[in-house]
């Protein structure tokens, strides 16, 4: 399954159906009069957040969405049939943005949330509705109200309770594999993670969702490396886990680079509660671990947890800190069954 977190689509609601021009022709009724019915209403464009989706990949192949128009009215005062509403199903965490990306039009934060985006046009009036005491045989009718249309951007921000940040090769994928069933790719080179990963942590009878994003390097805000486009996926996290590789030449500089990129991105990321962990300590002796932890604690202004995602040292300590930070209402953002996620698209 490919991950896609942005897509541009075109939406058009249905136009209203035209009203009818008709006159009664019945036996034994001398003056029949008008009996043209109204046109039917056009279909609405509706967005709905559903469970089981965590990518916008379907919108790469289906980019135009048009609701059917209403049917025309007919004689005997029969109103035309309304067009069916077109429901566009999106993952939880999706935002609908204006074409210039300057305005958030809709924001879906919970399963089942349903919003009408474009309203279908009302049906036109039939000639029966124009009848008055002075206009007994009207022949005018309404053509139906026009549709609404718009180009919009869909942007996905994954919902997670905790987010992993750090330089490339800081051990984020190893950590998420240790505490969840995410099965993220791990390699001895930078940027093994090229798309966000989600996993559900189960610890001390609690569950919460953790997100791993591609590593940041200096200048990511200006497009260096993979850039900072994936930082939007941790904007809604309650706490950030900052992993620093204990084998870096300067652990304080590694910490400073990531914090600077978070600040340059904005979105309140630098102000979120964060847990700092010195990772890969299984490769160092105790004296060096203590010295590096003290150095990093001074630079970050917070306690530093010695950690080894590969051997499990300090993992429980980190999870305890994360549970305390996310609070009692954590979890339930996604369901993790240990299998690869699948995307199913239902024709609308």
Annotated binding site for Mg(2+), which residues?
173, 193
Q: With contact defined as beta carbons under 8 Å apart, do 67 and 83 qualify?
A: yes
Q: With contact defined as beta carbons under 8 Å apart, do 92 and 109 qualify?
A: yes
Q: Token digits for 180?
A: 């969840």
Q: With contact defined as beta carbons under 8 Å apart, do 215 and 167 qualify?
A: yes
Q: Which of 173, 134, 144 is nearest to 42 (CA)?
A: 144
Compute how many other C-beta atoms are within 10 angstroms of the C-beta atom of residue 46. 19
Separation between Cα atoms, residue 325 and residue 305, nearest integer Å: 15
In the 8-state DSSP scheme, what is residue 81?
A: P
Name the β-bridge partners of 115. Answer: 47
Q: Which of 211, 219, 205 is nearest to 240 (CA)?
A: 211
- In the chain, DSSP finds a helix count (H) and a strand count (E) of 5, 14
Q: With contact defined as beta carbons under 8 Å apart, do 42 and 83 qualify?
A: yes
Q: Token digits for 122?
A: 């009302």
Determine the longest span between alpha carbons in the chain, in angstroms: 109
Separation between Cα atoms, residue 229 and residue 233, nearest integer Å: 9
The annotated binding site for GTP is made up of 166-173, 212-215, 279-282, 308-310
Q: Which of 97, 232, 212, 233 is nearest to 159 (CA)?
A: 233
The annotated binding site is made up of 166-173, 193, 212-215, 279-282, 308-310
Q: Which of 293, 236, 300 is nearest to 94 (CA)?
A: 236
* Pairing label, strands 197-203, 274-279: unpaired
């Amino acid at each position: 399954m490919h991950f896609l977190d942005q897509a541009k689509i075109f939406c058009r609601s249905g136009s209203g159906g035209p009203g009818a021009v008709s006159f009664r022709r019945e036996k034994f009724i001398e003056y029949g009069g008008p009996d043209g019915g109204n046109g039917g209403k056009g279909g609405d464009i509706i967005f709905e957040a559903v469970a089981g989706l965590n990518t916008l990949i379907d919108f790469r192949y289906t980019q135009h969405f048009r609701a059917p128009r209403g049917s025309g009215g007919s004689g005997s005062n029969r109103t035309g049939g309304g067009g069916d509403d077109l429901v566009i199903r999106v993952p939880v965490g999706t935002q609908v943005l204006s074409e210039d990306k300057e305005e958030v039009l809709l924001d879906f934060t919970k399963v089942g949330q349903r919003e009408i985006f474009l309203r279908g046009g009302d049906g036109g009036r039939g000639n029966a509705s124009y009848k008055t005491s002075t206009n007994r045989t009207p022949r005018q009718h309404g053509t139906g109200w026009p549709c609404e249309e718009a180009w919009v951007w869909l942007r996905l921000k994954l919902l997670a309770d905790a987010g992993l940040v750090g330089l490339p090769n800081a051990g984020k994928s190893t950590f998420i594999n240790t505490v969840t069933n995410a099965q993220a790719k791990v390699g001895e080179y930078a940027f093994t993670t090229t798309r966000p990963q989600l996993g559900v942590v189960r610890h001390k009878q609690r569950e919460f969702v953790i997100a791993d994003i591609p590593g940041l390097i200096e200048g990511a805000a200006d497009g260096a490396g993979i850039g900072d486009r994936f930082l939007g996926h941790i904007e809604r996290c309650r706490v950030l886990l900052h992993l620093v590789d204990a084998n870096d030449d300067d652990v304080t500089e590694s910490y400073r680079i990531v914090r600077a990129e978070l600040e340059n991105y904005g979105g309140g990321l630098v102000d979120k509660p964060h847990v700092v962990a010195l990772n890969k300590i299984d490769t160092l002796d105790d004296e060096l671990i203590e010295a590096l932890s003290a150095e990093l604690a001074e630079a970050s202004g917070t306690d530093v947890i010695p950690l080894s995602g590969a051997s499990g040292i300090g993992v429980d300590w980190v999870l305890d800190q994360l549970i305390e930070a996310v609070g009692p209402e954590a979890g339930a953002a996604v369901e993790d069954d240990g299998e690869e996620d699948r995307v199913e698209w239902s024709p609308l």
